[in-house]
Copies of this chain bind each other. A is one copy, B any other.
């Protein structure tokens, strides 16, 4: 029996917990209860308790969890200690928004640069020519590729990433990418997400 498998649903809540815990850091909180976390984040109380039981050490009845220890445990699961390097392909508005967004560092991810085929977008600091991709990936230990190009070039870009040994892909294009089975694709179809909201 494998005790190490953490369900996907739980995984997705780890960053939420971490963000909440880090927001407490200047309040000098020593203990935090699952009840409190559940209320603040509007999650079920038992849900949070089960998550914490799975992810962390024991809590103390009537008191809760030692906050710093809990934070450490969650970070260990997320493995935020060693930074994961990511690159963006497609330096349009969205690509740049992600490139300059600072919230990723908190979770141990560094978006090192973006690539684009359009010469006008090259800025030598952060946006490089797509032709330099191969060398860059080899030299910089890139683990994640973020696709923010249009749907027409998305598959092509995806192939390029895969051929450079990148097997984690965050796909913002609205198409279904074809990849070898060992490659992990997370689709982020923003328009579709908004459409669902609009119709509720």
Contacts and interface: CB of A to CB of B under 8 A. Distances in A.
Interface of A: 8, 11-12, 14-16, 19, 23, 40-42, 77-80, 84, 86, 92-94, 96-98, 100-101, 103-104, 106-109, 143-144, 146, 168, 170, 174-176, 184, 186, 188-200
A144 B101 contact: no
Q: Main SS of chain A's interface residues? A: helix
Contacts of A79: 199
A15 B196 contact: yes
B193 A188 contact: yes
Given A78-B199, A93-B100, A97-B96, A19 B192 contact: yes
Contact of A189 (B16, B23, B176, B192): B16
A184 to B, nearest CB: 5
A137 B54 CA distance: 46
A15 B192 contact: yes
B198 A108 contact: yes
A8 B109 CA distance: 31
Nearest to A22: B174
A78 B15 contact: no
Given A79-B199, A146-B194, 11 more contacts: A14-B196, A15-B192, A16-B189, A19-B192, A80-B195, A94-B94, A103-B190, A104-B191, A106-B191, A184-B200, A186-B193
Contacts of A195: 14-15, 78, 80, 104, 107-109
A4 to B, nearest CB: 13
A184 B196 CA distance: 11
A10 B118 CA distance: 38
